């Protein structure tokens, strides 16, 4: 049988490490008070005997005010009904309660909080459960982010459905109408007895209908993903889109692109173009603006896109919700923000006498990711 060493049998190099644990009470106290996790000990009367500052901050009551007071006095009825039931079970069974999720509103907090809590028995020299230790982790922020993510996902799916419905309507109202007229002309051409002049007129009409159909298809295709973006890059696609936007909306647009702007990594070009589309769409729909200024620059290894209008601006509460990621911001702003975050960039919105959307995206990191992906694909092939 393997024999464990006593402390006196360890060599001198081990002793300094052991001496660090010569005062276990001080060690436990240091961990207890410095921990970022809420810690407490309760007696069998369900009163707080010791509480660290982290848990006190969670409860909104000073640590010294917990001591000797019942759980119900500190947490209020709703939380105490849950916590007391768990404490009593641990005292009765002597078994710990692990990863208990609690969602309640404390008297000191204005909203429902969420916690993951663990309770474990502390026995005395006779083996009786004399106290219960509590470990509490506040997950309210994580729950809020999860809810925000679900809200954003729901909005994006709804926006996607609306976009698909709009394209379906465009296809039905335009291209499908051309197809129907073209089919009627072709059916007429099948009839006997048509003279040469009538046939020639029907053929001319059919060619004209086909030309319109092709032009409409090309327009819809370009709006979905302009070929210029892949063939010529962000600068050319932006010039084309901005020109069409100004013609359709009647809004004056001042576009400033750096001369000889190099091609950017594919993900950046796509993201910047979609953000520009969304920003201009918001200007047209909501801003009531007469002018828009678009600036693109390369600064310190970043690509910067700024879209500034002279419209009515964005309500302060919407901006605040967007910054806090609470899901209250419009789906357009949320989708722009998400695109920038995926590229490790910075998305900013300012609204004062108009609205300014500013995007900064690092180039080197995305270019490196693209190169690694291309190399991986080449190796796989």
Q: Each residue of 100-158: pLDDT tens digit? A: 999 999 999 888 999 999 999 999 999 999 999 999 999 998 888 888 777 777 777 77
| Mean pLDDT value across residues 285-309 | 91
Nearest Cα residue to 329 out of 314, 347, 348, 339: 314
Q: Are strands 346-351 and 355-362 parallel, antiparallel or unpaired?
A: antiparallel
In this structure, are 200 and 237 located in the same domain?
Answer: no
- Residue 94 zone, left/alpha/beta (φ > 0; ψ -120 to 50; rest): left
CA pseudo-torsion sign 132, 135, 141, 147: negative
In this structure, are 192 and 233 located in the same domain?
Answer: no
Split at pLDDT 50, 70, 90, the class of 92 is very high
Tokens of 182: 């073209």
In this structure, are 134 and 41 located in the same domain?
Answer: yes
Split at pLDDT 50, 70, 90, the class of 73 is very high
pTM of the model as a whole: 0.49
Q: How many Cβ atoms are within 10 Å of 291's Cβ, its own excluded?
A: 14
In this structure, are 248 and 367 located in the same domain?
Answer: yes
- The residue segments making up the domain with residue 154 are 142-224
| Mean pLDDT value across residues 178-205 | 84
| Mean pLDDT value across residues 297-301 | 87
Q: What are the φ and ψ backbone dihedral angles of 261, each rounded to 5 degrees?
A: -60, 120
| Mean pLDDT value across residues 350-369 | 79
CA pseudo-torsion sign 325, 348, 241, 238: negative
Q: Which of 80, 111, 138 is the last residue of a domain?
A: 138
Q: What pLDDT, on the 0 to 100 scale, is given for residue 369?
A: 52
Q: Tell whether the model's pLDDT for residue 381 goes beyond 60.
A: no
Residue 314 forms part of a structural domain? yes
Q: Tell whether the model's pLDDT for residue 82 goes beyond 70.
A: yes
């Amino acid at each position: 049988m393997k024999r464990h060493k006593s402390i006196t049998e360890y060599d001198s190099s081990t002793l300094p490490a052991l001496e660090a644990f010569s005062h276990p009470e001080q060690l436990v106290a240091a961990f207890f008070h410095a921990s970022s996790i809420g810690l407490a000990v309760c007696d069998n009367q369900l009163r707080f005997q010791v509480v660290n500052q982290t848990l006190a901050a969670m409860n909104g009551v000073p640590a010294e005010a917990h001591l000797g007071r019942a759980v119900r006095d500190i947490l209020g009825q709703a939380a105490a009904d849950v916590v007391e039931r768990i404490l009593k079970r641990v005292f009765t069974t002597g078994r710990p309660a692990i990863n208990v999720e609690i969602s309640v509103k404390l008297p000191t907090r204005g909203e429902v909080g969420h916690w993951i809590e663990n309770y474990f028995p502390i026995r005395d020299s006779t083996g009786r459960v004399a106290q219960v230790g509590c470990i509490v982790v506040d997950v309210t922020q994580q729950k809020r982010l999860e809810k925000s993510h679900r809200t954003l996902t729901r909005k994006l799916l709804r926006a996607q459905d609306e976009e698909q419905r709009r394209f379906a309507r465009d296809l039905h109202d335009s291209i499908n109408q051309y197809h129907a007229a073209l089919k009627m002309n072709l059916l007429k051409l099948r009839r006997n007895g048509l003279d040469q002049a009538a046939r020639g007129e029907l053929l001319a009409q059919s060619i004209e209908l086909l030309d319109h159909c092709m032009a409409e298809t090309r327009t819809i295709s370009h709006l979905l993903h302009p070929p210029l973006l892949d063939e010529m890059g962000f600068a050319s696609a932006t010039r084309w889109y901005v020109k069409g936007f100004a013609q359709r909306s009647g809004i004056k647009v001042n576009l400033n692109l750096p001369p000889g702007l190099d091609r950017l990594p594919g993900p950046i070009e796509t993201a910047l173009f979609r953000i520009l589309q969304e920003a201009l769409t918001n200007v047209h729909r909501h801003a009531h603006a007469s002018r828009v200024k678009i600036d693109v620059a390369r600064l310190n290894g970043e690509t910067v896109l700024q879209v500034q209008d002279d419209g009515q601006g964005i309500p302060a509460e919407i901006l605040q919700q967007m910054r806090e990621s609470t899901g209250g911001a419009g789906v357009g702003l949320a989708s722009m923000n998400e695109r920038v975050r995926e590229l490790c960039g910075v998305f900013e919105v300012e609204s004062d006498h108009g609205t300014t959307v500013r995007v900064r995206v690092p180039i080197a990191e995305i270019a490196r990711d693209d190169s690694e992906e291309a190399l991986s694909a080449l190796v796989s092939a």
